[in-house]
Amino acid sequence: MITPHTPAGELLALLDRWVELGWLRPLDRALAGFFAEQQPEAGAGVLLAAALASHQLGHGHVCLDLAATLAEPDFALSLPPEGEEGLADAWLPSTRLAALTLADWLEALSASELVAAAGEPARPLVLSGERLYLRRYWSYEQGVAKALAARIHDDRPVPDDLPEWLERLFPEPLMLHGERQTDWQKLACALAASSGFTLITGGPGTGKTTTVVRLLALLQGTAAQPLRIRLAAPTGKAAARLTESIGAQVASLPVNDTVRAHIPTEVSTLHRLLGSLPDSRHFRHHAGNPLPLDVLVVDEASMIDLEMMHSLLAALPAHARLLLLGDKDQLASVEAGALLGDLCRHAEQGLYTPERLAWLEAVSGEKVAHPALEAGEPGRHGLAQRILMLRHSRRFAGGSGIGRLAEAVNRQQPAAARAWLDGHQEVATVRLRGEQDRALNRLLCDGRGEAAGYGHYLRRLRDERPAAGTAFDDAAWSEWAGTVLTAFDRFRLLCAVRRGPWGVEGLNERIAGLLHRRGLLEADSGWYEGRPVLVTRNDYGLGLMNGDIGIALRLPEEDGRLVLRVAFPRNDGSGGLRFVLPSRLGDMETVFAMTVHKSQGSEFAHTALILPETLNPVLTKELLYTGITRARHWFTLLEPRAGVFEQAIARRVERRSGLLESLMVP
């Protein structure tokens, strides 16, 4: 049992054991060891808190919430990690920390020379209320809060003809089910026109892209000089997807060609925008060398972590407008810091001040009405005046099973979610009986009905291959590779966990084996044609980003020899491909199955989500919602055990950060 009086050696031995079990990263243990060396009098309470604060960063929390940790240690710390069961209770945090009280822990931390209270001179750890930070993350949080607080008060003058512009960009009143509805897109445009910082949140297909394109037309159309506008997204995949959808939208804008020509359609990753420097956390653009732009739009903002947000805000010139788009209900970034979720905590309620509401209604001609709306107070709800939630999905209009299922999950209504799963064509559920379940194998190879499985892209790979003898530089090869890559996105299996029988690692092996046995793959290990791979680390030399997916294909060399190369879509919006020799690829893994986390920013015509057999800390309604909303047309839930789905709906991600508090929002 650990208390602040436990000898440091005993605590370090417990941390060693957790490292052996794979529960704690060696890095977390090393930090505690380093502090113990630096400060021989540092007690067990401080060393434990340091190791756990570092551990929490690996789970997306910017700090260690001491009270939450003691209230439910195993859940708060995600220990044991996902996909592992049957481990000795003796090592569980709930057992080991049972004798530690919050008062004792706080006292030990406050007394330590390693720990500063917020605002005190630099020490490696910062205690803010009941939250303990590693200093770097505390500084990031402070920096972001300060930059956002300044932007929240950044009112911009609107053009006199704003109502006319809104009318022109949103000519038709929004009608749904035969009734006039509030056009939140039009309101978002009005809101963003009047502000240096706007956050637009909405579920899939609610029109975030459409809104922002129209807003850009408005800004560009009313600017005295052409504005320098840049579009960005956190990952290459998200950037590519936005590039695709934005092009068509810009083409159909009701504006003259000069305005249109000044609206970009190219989307870059945030790393590229900021100019990453090799082997460094630093960027070419920072406060001393700000980004040369007037308007920055960042899509998929739920994937921006705290450190990136800090870098971005630092590099953004004060005069530039910032627009963040995202879905607040999605899983947050894997890295620490759930900004969008934090910032949008009151988006449903709106919390607009009466003055703001009156202005919005006057310029837009819309009635701002929704049962969830609550009135905000001037001075208290500054952030809320910059946030707008789009509430009507056009993609999942009317009775779409996927849309309704996602909504029921998001609202934590398990019975309704189950009813949608059972009663709709686009959604289905399959109960699995063991790892070699026939229905599972059939689904993976052949899909169900019109919804594809992995056989689809492999058959297209085989059937549409250019004829033998086609010249190595014939465009037919690229077209074929493009076809295979597109076909691969028809279906994806998503997993909640990495390890265990229903985790990504085991399933990837089993799927390759299955496709090989079915004669769809020539091999199931090493490099083989048709192997899909996921890049797991940015490689600026090759122009590949973490999250990029490619497929190994046999392609001709100049001398006619066939050589395996991995085809990747280019991330530059050109629609082109790049071909990389497998031996040149660094960190990557096979990607028949992928985690829900990694699937963020992507979409598949048919998405299947496989749950593990038991509940574990990663299973939350956000994970289910994110998985379900990756499906464009069909969704299949694969359940090895009944009830886990319902249990997961009941839990939600509790990210620990003090950002909202810093922004003084209740």
Looking at the Cβ atoms of 55 and 241, the one nearer to ligand ATP is 241
Q: Which of 637, 649, 641, 635 is nearest to 612 (CA)?
A: 641
Cα(608)–Cα(589) distance, rounded to whole angstroms? 20
Looking at the Cβ atoms of 270 and 484, the one nearer to ligand ATP is 270
- Per rule CB under 6 A, is residue 168 in the interface with ligand ATP? no
Cα(490)–Cα(606) distance, rounded to whole angstroms? 6
Containing H/E element for 278? none
CB 202 within 8 A of CB 390: yes
Q: Which of 81, 205, 236, 547 lies at the binding interface for ligand ATP (CB under 6 A)? A: 205
- Per rule CB under 6 A, is residue 537 in the interface with ligand ATP? no
List the interface residues with ligand ATP, window 217-246 (CB under 6 A).
245
Residues 6+ apart with CB under 8 A from 288: none
The amino acid occupying position 520 is L
Is 209 assigned a ligand-binding role in the annotation?
Answer: yes
Q: Which of 6, 182, 194, 209 lies at the binding interface for ligand ATP (CB under 6 A)? A: 209
List the interface residues with ligand ATP, window 239-298 (CB under 6 A).
245
By CB under 6 A, which span of 96-104, 208-216, 401-409, 616-624 interacts with ligand ATP? 208-216
**Helix extents (H) in 252-338:** 257-261, 270-274, 306-315
Write the DSSP symbol of residue 195: B
CB 477 within 8 A of CB 560: no
Is 506 assigned a ligand-binding role in the annotation?
Answer: no
CB of residue 252 to ligand ATP, shortest distance in Å: 8
Q: Which of 55, 96, 151, 208 lies at the binding interface for ligand ATP (CB under 6 A)? A: 208
Is 198 assigned a ligand-binding role in the annotation?
Answer: no
The tokens describing 421, both together, are: 């799963």
Cα(18)–Cα(572) distance, rounded to whole angstroms? 43
Q: Which of 33, 73, 81, 202 lies at the binding interface for ligand ATP (CB under 6 A)? A: 202
Looking at the Cβ atoms of 82 and 329, the one nearer to ligand ATP is 329
Phi, psi of 525 (to 5 degrees): -145, 165
Is 202 assigned a ligand-binding role in the annotation?
Answer: yes
Cα(115)–Cα(121) distance, rounded to whole angstroms? 10
- Per rule CB under 6 A, is residue 326 in the interface with ligand ATP? no
**Helix extents (H) in 252-293:** 257-261, 270-274
By CB under 6 A, which span of 198-206, 311-319, 582-590, 652-660 interacts with ligand ATP? 198-206
- Per rule CB under 6 A, is residue 181 in the interface with ligand ATP? no
- Determine the 3-state secondary structure of 588 from DSSP: strand
- Per rule CB under 6 A, is residue 395 in the interface with ligand ATP? yes
Sign of the alpha-carbon torsion through 134, 137, 141, 146? positive
Looking at the Cβ atoms of 332 and 644, the one nearer to ligand ATP is 332
Q: Which of 3, 128, 185, 385 lies at the binding interface for ligand ATP (CB under 6 A)? A: 185
Sign of the alpha-carbon torsion through 57, 59, 62, 68? negative
CB of residue 474 to ligand ATP, shortest distance in Å: 34
By the 10 Å C-beta count (0-12 exposed, 13-18 middle, 19+ buried), 329 is classed as buried
Is 573 assigned a ligand-binding role in the annotation?
Answer: no
Residues in contact with ligand ATP, shown as a per-residue x/- string from 28 to 57 under the rule CB under 6 A:
------------------------------
List the interface residues with ligand ATP, window 1-30 (CB under 6 A).
none
By CB under 6 A, which span of 51-59, 202-210, 494-502, 509-517 interacts with ligand ATP? 202-210
- Count, residues near ligand ATP per rule CB under 6 A: 12
CB of residue 267 to ligand ATP, shortest distance in Å: 12
CB of residue 575 to ligand ATP, shortest distance in Å: 18
Q: Which of 135, 63, 136 is nearest to 655 (CA)?
A: 63
CA–chain centroid gap for 636, Å, is: 21
**Helix extents (H) in 39-83:** 44-58, 66-71, 73-76
- Per rule CB under 6 A, is residue 590 in the interface with ligand ATP? no
Is 237 assigned a ligand-binding role in the annotation?
Answer: no
By the 10 Å C-beta count (0-12 exposed, 13-18 middle, 19+ buried), 436 is classed as exposed
Looking at the Cβ atoms of 209 and 311, the one nearer to ligand ATP is 209
Looking at the Cβ atoms of 245 and 470, the one nearer to ligand ATP is 245
Is 382 assigned a ligand-binding role in the annotation?
Answer: no
Q: Which of 60, 93, 196, 204 lies at the binding interface for ligand ATP (CB under 6 A)? A: 204
Q: Which of 78, 206, 268, 636 lies at the binding interface for ligand ATP (CB under 6 A)? A: 206
- Per rule CB under 6 A, is residue 630 in the interface with ligand ATP? no
- Per rule CB under 6 A, is residue 201 in the interface with ligand ATP? no
By CB under 6 A, which span of 90-98, 204-212, 354-362, 610-618 interacts with ligand ATP? 204-212
The tokens describing 247, both together, are: 């092009």
Looking at the Cβ atoms of 504 and 605, the one nearer to ligand ATP is 605
Helix %, strand %, coil % of the chain (to 5) = 40, 15, 40
Q: Which of 394, 433, 459, 462 lies at the binding interface for ligand ATP (CB under 6 A)? A: 394
Is 206 assigned a ligand-binding role in the annotation?
Answer: yes
Distances from the Cα of 541 to the Cα of 278, 495, 570, 579, 598, angstroms: 9, 31, 14, 13, 22
481: left (phi over 0), alpha (psi -120 to 50) or beta: alpha
Length of the chain: 666
Return binding residues for ATP: 202-209
Return binding residues: 202-209
Q: Where does this chain bind ligand ATP (CB under 6 A)? A: 185, 202, 204-210, 245, 394-395
